[in-house]
Amino acid sequence: MLELKDLYFSVGERNIIDGINYTFEQGKFYGITGPNGSGKTTLAKLIMGINAANSGSILFDGKEISQLSITERAKEGIAYSFQQPARFKGITFRDLLAMAAGTEDEEMLLALLRRVGICSLSFLDKPVDTKLSGGEIKKIELATTIARNPKLAIYDEPDTGIDLWTIQPMVRLLKREQKEHGTTTLVVSHNRAFLEAADIVLMISEGKLVYRGDLQGALPMLNDLSVCNYRKCVGDRDVGCYR
């Protein structure tokens, strides 16, 4: 349902995304991981149109979307949860949720709260400002993404600022959305809980897609990439070569 072809994005001389080709299947749950600065968030932003690719194409349900704006991609059915969600002045969670769902109907908004599992109704009228904790604003971000009823939901580090006890319910929520609504789910994460929940783990290193498969297969490479290693690269099966 989402096809990336020869995708490049560079800043100056440096290729942040360096020729990625991959096809995401309808209804699957993908965990995108890799070292810090490897290009995971950039890849997610290219799909949403937050950054424009230098070259290559992005096909969504067979339609070329690489020239479409963020708004147009949202209307095509792509939703995005930001790693660092925006904070506003004078805009409440209710306002954002109503914009996302396209309705101000109280019952429908409450149904969305129940669907996301935010129990406290008082949450609805909270201003989405700098007074919110990191965990609160991430829950709001997640809820507004789900409220879009997207075909493709992209979550960039959804667990940032979330307490340990909320991570498993959050994983269950995204899995439930995948199962009940057929949402194709892309989660950019370092968190094992999300990677374990993924049908397919993709690993990005230095802007390249270096692994696709299950988590077990990715672990040796992840362990290697997460520590400093100055030894010489000894062949194309040596994970050190992908540094």
Partner 1 sequence: MLDAIDRELLKTVADLEGLPKGAFNIRKNGRLLKREVSANINIESLADGKGITVTIKPGTVNESVHIPVILSQAGLYDVVYNNFLIGAGSDVTIIAGCGIHCGGPEPEGHAGIHEFHVGEGAKVKYVEKHYARGSGRGRRSLNPTTKVILAAGAAAEMELTQIGGVDEANRVNEATLGPDSLLLITERVLTEGGQRAVSTNTITMAGEGSRANMISRSVIKGDSRQDFHATLEALAPCFGHIECDAIIMDNGKNETIPALKAHHPDAALTHEASIGKIASDQLMKLMSLGLDYDEAVNRIIQGFLK
Question: Interface residues with partner 1 (CB under 8 A)?
Answer: 48, 50, 69-71, 74-75, 79-80, 82, 84-86, 88-91, 95-96, 99-100, 102, 144, 148
Do residues 31 and 215 touch, judged by C-beta distance below 8 A? yes
Q: 64 in helix, strand or coil?
A: strand
Smallest distance from partner 1 to CB 94, Å: 12
CB nearer to partner 1: give 15 or 149: 149
Smallest distance from partner 1 to CB 139, Å: 15
CB nearer to partner 1: give 96 or 210: 96
CB nearer to partner 1: give 79 or 221: 79
**Which ranges in 56-201 belong to alpha helices (H)?**
70-76, 93-101, 106-116, 134-147, 164-181, 192-197
CB nearer to partner 1: give 96 or 142: 96
Tokens of 181: 């609504």
Smallest distance from partner 1 to CB 99, Å: 5
Going by C-alpha positions, the residue among 120, 140, 143, 142 that lies closest to residue 131 is 140
Strands 63-64 and 55-60: antiparallel
Smallest distance from partner 1 to CB 107, Å: 20
Do residues 87 and 158 touch, judged by C-beta distance below 8 A? no
Smallest distance from partner 1 to CB 173, Å: 19
Smallest distance from partner 1 to CB 100, Å: 5
Residue type, 39: G
Tokens of 51: 């950054």
CB nearer to partner 1: give 89 or 232: 89
CB nearer to partner 1: give 48 or 197: 48
Report the distance separating Cα 172 and Cα 193, nearest Å.
Answer: 10
